[in-house]
C-alpha cells in the first residue's frame, strides 16, 4: 500500500522528483494548492509538506483522518496548530538546517546596510542626487553586537561577526554555557545586551518569553543610537516601542525582515523613516536555501516512512539511530508495562512514577515515558492514543507523571521501574529490563516474577494455599484454553501469591467473572498484548 503525500505549496522541482522516485509513495503536487482543493485531497493523505502559504489548523486536520506527519519546509511553524496536531496524533516537523546560512547572511547584510546607509544612498542616486555628506556611516570593526538566540542561525551570525572583528555578546537560556564555549564570546544577560550593544540581532522563536523583548518599559536602557535587526519573527520587538524609539532618536536605525502582520499595511508607521530598512521576509529567500530546505524536508519524510525516525520533530521526541538501537526494547516494554498496570488497577490512573536505573539513565528517556503513557491510556482509549498525543491526553486527564534517574541497585545493568497509583488509593508496580533485545518483566508488586510481556496474559492474585494452581488449570481446561507459560511468586508462606499465565485464547468476560469467584482467588486481570 502506498503512502499518499501532498506537497501543498510551491516546492523545489528536485525535491518533488526525489519523492516521486520512491515506489512506496504516491505524490500529489501541482505547484501549490488553493485551500478548497487541498481540503478535497486531504482524506487520502498520510503525509503533508508545506511552506508558509498553507495553514494547518483544526479545520484542515479534521479533513485528514489518515495524516501521520506534517513537515514545514523551513524553520517557522506559526502556520501550524501544533497542539491540535498532537491531539490527533500527527507528528509535526520542521527543516531548520537548510536556511540557517541564508538567514544569518541576511542579518549580516542588514547590519552592513544600517552601518553604511546603503539603501538610502542607492535611492538618492536614482533620484539624480549626489549626497555624499548625508550618508556618512560607521565601521563595524570594534563595535559591539548582541546576539539573542544562539541556535543554528545565531551561531552562524556569531561566526561572521567575529570575522568582522566585532565584540560579540550572546544570550541563550536554553543552551548550557559549556556547549557554547567554542564560540569564544561573552555570554551575558539580555539586560546587559540591551545596555551595551551598538547592534542587536535576534534569532529566537516567538514565544511568551521572547514576545516584546524590546518594549516601551525597557526602551530607555538601550544604548543611545543602537541599531536593531530582526530576521526571526515579528513581535519579538514591540513595533509601537520601535516607533517611539525611532521618533525620539534613541534607536539609530532599524532593519526588519519580519513583522507582526505580513504583508505590512500601506500605512505602516515605520515606512516614513529613512533610517528604517524594511524587507519582505527574505531571510530564507535564496535559491540555495530553498533547495537545501526542500531536500532536507524530503529526506525527513522518506526517513520517517522508511525507518520510523522522526527527525526535527516538534511534538515527538527525536532519537538518534544509535540510541534507538539500545532503547527499542524499552519502548515496547514500556508500552506493555503501561497496559498491564492500567488493567491491574480497578480505578483510573491518577499518577505515574518511573525510575530509570543503570545504563538507560544515560539516555534520553522521554520517548520511553511516552510509550508507558501510550500503553496506559490505550486501555481506555484504544487506537485513539499514540506516541504523539499520549502526553497531551495524560495532561488533559490530570495524570501526574514523574521520573527519576539513578544508578542500578540490582543485578541488572539497566532496568525500568514503573509505579501506578489510582484515584481510589490502589497502587501497582512492576520492573522490566531488556534481554537479547527483548523486554522482560522481572518483578511485579515487589516480588520476583519473570515473564515476557507478550500474547494473552492472565494475572491472578490468590491466597497462598495448596491446589490453587490445579484449580486454575482445571478451570481453563474446561474452557478448552491451553496454558502456554506459567510463573508463580508469593510474599510469605500462606500469604498472598501471584500467578502469571500466558494463554492461547481470550477468556470471555462471563468466564473471567466466574474465575474471580473461585475459592482462594483474590483477583484476576486479563491483558491482551498481541
- In percent, the amount of the chain with pLDDT more than 90 equals 68
Span 206-224, average pLDDT:
92
Span 511-520, average pLDDT:
92
Cβ-Cβ contacts under 8 Å for 98 (sequence gap 6 or more): 73, 74, 284, 289, 291, 292, 293, 294, 295, 296, 297
User: Nine-digit cell at 46?
Assistant: 498520510
Residue 47 pairs with which residues in a beta bridge? 5, 69
Beta strands in 297-426 (DSSP E): 349-358, 400-406, 414-422
Question: In this predicted model, what pLDDT tens digit does every residue of 105-138 receive, in sequence order?
Answer: 999 999 999 999 999 999 999 999 999 999 999 9
pLDDT score for 319 = 66
Burial class (CB in 10 A: 0-12, 13-18, 19+), 477: exposed
Span 250-259, average pLDDT:
98
Question: In this predicted model, what pLDDT tens digit does every residue of 40-62 receive, in sequence order?
Answer: 999 999 999 999 889 999 999 99
Separation of CA 55 from chain center:
19
> Among 74-83, 235-244, 265-274, 511-520, which stretch is predicted with the lowest mean pLDDT?
74-83
Question: In this predicted model, what pLDDT tens digit does every residue of 89-99 receive, in sequence order?
Answer: 899 998 877 78
Which CB contacts under 8 angstroms, 24+ apart, belong to 241-245?
A: 241/212, 241/214, 241/215, 241/216, 242/214, 242/270, 243/269, 243/270, 244/216, 244/219, 245/219
Q: How would you classify the pairing of strands 427-435 and 456-463?
A: unpaired
For residue 78, is pLDDT > 90?
no
For residue 316, is pLDDT > 80?
no
* Alpha-carbon Rg for the chain in angstroms: 30
Q: What are the residue numbers of the active site?
A: 233, 262, 281
To the nearest 10°, the Cα dihedral for 333, 337, 343, 348?
A: -130
> Residue 481 and residue 455: Cα distance in Å, rounded?
14
pLDDT score for 465 = 93
pLDDT score for 320 = 65
pLDDT score for 406 = 85
Question: In this predicted model, what pLDDT tens digit does every residue of 428-445 receive, in sequence order?
Answer: 999 999 998 899 999 998
> Residue 145 and residue 129: Cα distance in Å, rounded?
33
> Among 69-73, 75-79, 209-213, which stretch is predicted with the lowest mean pLDDT?
75-79
Question: Are 310 and 318 within 8 A, CB to CB?
Answer: yes
Concatenate the DSSP letters of all residues of 401-422 into one string. EEEEEE---SS-SEEEEEEEEE
Give the sign of the dihedral formed by CA 240, CA 241, CA 247, CA 253.
Answer: negative
Question: Are 382 and 376 within 8 A, CB to CB?
Answer: no
Q: What is the CA angle 427-431-436, rounded to 5?
A: 155
Start-to-end CA span in the chain (Å):
23
Question: In this predicted model, what pLDDT tens digit does every residue of 339-384 receive, in sequence order?
Answer: 999 988 866 788 999 999 999 988 888 889 999 998 998 887 776 6
> Residue 20 and residue 29: Cα distance in Å, rounded?
10
Question: Are 289 and 99 within 8 A, CB to CB?
Answer: yes
Cβ-Cβ contacts under 8 Å for 529 (sequence gap 6 or more): 336, 339, 340, 453, 454, 455, 456, 457
> Residue 468 and residue 472: Cα distance in Å, rounded?
6
Question: In this predicted model, what pLDDT tens digit does every residue of 275-311 receive, in sequence order?
Answer: 999 999 999 888 888 888 899 999 999 988 987 777 7
Compute how many other C-beta atoms are within 10 angstroms of the C-beta atom of residue 384: 13
pLDDT score for 284 = 83
Compute how many other C-beta atoms are within 10 angstroms of the C-beta atom of residue 497: 22
Residue 400 pairs with which residues in a beta bridge? 351
> Residue 404 and residue 40: Cα distance in Å, rounded?
47
Span 157-183, average pLDDT:
91
Amino acid at each position: 500500500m502506498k503512502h499518499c503525500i501532498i506537497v501543498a505549496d510551491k516546492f523545489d522541482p528536485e525535491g518533488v522528483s526525489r519523492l516521486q522516485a520512491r515506489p512506496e509513495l504516491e505524490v500529489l503536487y501541482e505547484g501549490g494548492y488553493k485551500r478548497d482543493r487541498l481540503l478535497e485531497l486531504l482524506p487520502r493523505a498520510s503525509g503533508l509538506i508545506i511552506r508558509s502559504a498553507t495553514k494547518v489548523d483544526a479545520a484542515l486536520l479534521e479533513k485528514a483522518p489518515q495524516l501521520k506527519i506534517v513537515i514545514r519546509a523551513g524553520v517557522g511553524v506559526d502556520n501550524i496548530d501544533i497542539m491540535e496536531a498532537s491531539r490527533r496524533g500527527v507528528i509535526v516537523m520542521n527543516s531548520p538546517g537548510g536556511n540557517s546560512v541564508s538567514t544569518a547572511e541576511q542579518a549580516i547584510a542588514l547590519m552592513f546596510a544600517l552601518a553604511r546607509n546603503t539603501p538610502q544612498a542607492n535611492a538618492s542616486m536614482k533620484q539624480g542626487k549626489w549626497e555624499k555628506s548625508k550618508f556618512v556611516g560607521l565601521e563595524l570593526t570594534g563595535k559591539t553586537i548582541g546576539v539573542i538566540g544562539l541556535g543554528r542561525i545565531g551561531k552562524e551570525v556569531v561566526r561572521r561577526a567575529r570575522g568582522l572583528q566585532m565584540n560579540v555578546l550572546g544570550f541563550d537560556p536554553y543552551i548550557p554555557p559549556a556547549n557554547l564555549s567554542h564560540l569564544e564570546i561573552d555570554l551575558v544577560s539580555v539586560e546587559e545586551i540591551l545596555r551595551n550593544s551598538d547592534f542587536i540581532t535576534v534569532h529566537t522563536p516567538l514565544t511568551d518569553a521572547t514576545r516584546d523583548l524590546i518594549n516601551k518599559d525597557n526602551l530607555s536602557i538601550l544604548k543611545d543610537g543602537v541599531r536593531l535587526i530582526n530576521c526571526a519573527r515579528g513581535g519579538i520587538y514591540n513595533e509601537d516601542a520601535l516607533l517611539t524609539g525611532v521618533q525620539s532618536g534613541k534607536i539609530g536605525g532599524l532593519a526588519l525582515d519580519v513583522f507582526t502582520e505580513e504583508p505590512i499595511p500601506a500605512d505602516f508607521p515605520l515606512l516614513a523613516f529613512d533610517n528604517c530598512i524594511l524587507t519582505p521576509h527574505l531571510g530564507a529567500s535564496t535559491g540555495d536555501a530553498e533547495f537545501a530546505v526542500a531536500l532536507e524536508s524530503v529526506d525527513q519524510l522518506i526517513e520517517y516512512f522508511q525507518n520510523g525516525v522522526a527527525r526535527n520533530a516538534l511534538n515527538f521526541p527525536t532519537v538518534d539511530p544509535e540510541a534507538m538501537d539500545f532503547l527499542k526494547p524499552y519502548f515496547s516494554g514500556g508500552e506493555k508495562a503501561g497496559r498491564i498496570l492500567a488493567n491491574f488497577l480497578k480505578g483510573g490512573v491518577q499518577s505515574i512514577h518511573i525510575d530509570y536505573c543503570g545504563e538507560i539513565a544515560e539516555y534520553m528517556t522521554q520517548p520511553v515515558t511516552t510509550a508507558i503513557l501510550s500503553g496506559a491510556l490505550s486501555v481506555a482509549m484504544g487506537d485513539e492514543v499514540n506516541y504523539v498525543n499520549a502526553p497531551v491526553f495524560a495532561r488533559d486527564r490530570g495524570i501526574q507523571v514523574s521520573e527519576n534517574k539513578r544508578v542500578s541497585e540490582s543485578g541488572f545493568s539497566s532496568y525500568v521501574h514503573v509505579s501506578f497509583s489510582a484515584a481510589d488509593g490502589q497502587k501497582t508496580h512492576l520492573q522490566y529490563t531488556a534481554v537479547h533485545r527483548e523486554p522482560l518483566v522481572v518483578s511485579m508488586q515487589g516480588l520476583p516474577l519473570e515473564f515476557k510481556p507478550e500474547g494473552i496474559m492472565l494475572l491472578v492474585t490468590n491466597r497462598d494455599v495448596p491446589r490453587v494452581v490445579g484449580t486454575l488449570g482445571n478451570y481453563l481446561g474446561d474452557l478448552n484454553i491451553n496454558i502456554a507459560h506459567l510463573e508463580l511468586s508469593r510474599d510469605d508462606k500462606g500469604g498472598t501469591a501471584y500467578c502469571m499465565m500466558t494463554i492461547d485464547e481470550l477468556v470471555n468476560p462471563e468466564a473471567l467473572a466466574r474465575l474471580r469467584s473461585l475459592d482462594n482467588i483474590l483477583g484476576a486481570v486479563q491483558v491482551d498484548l498481541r
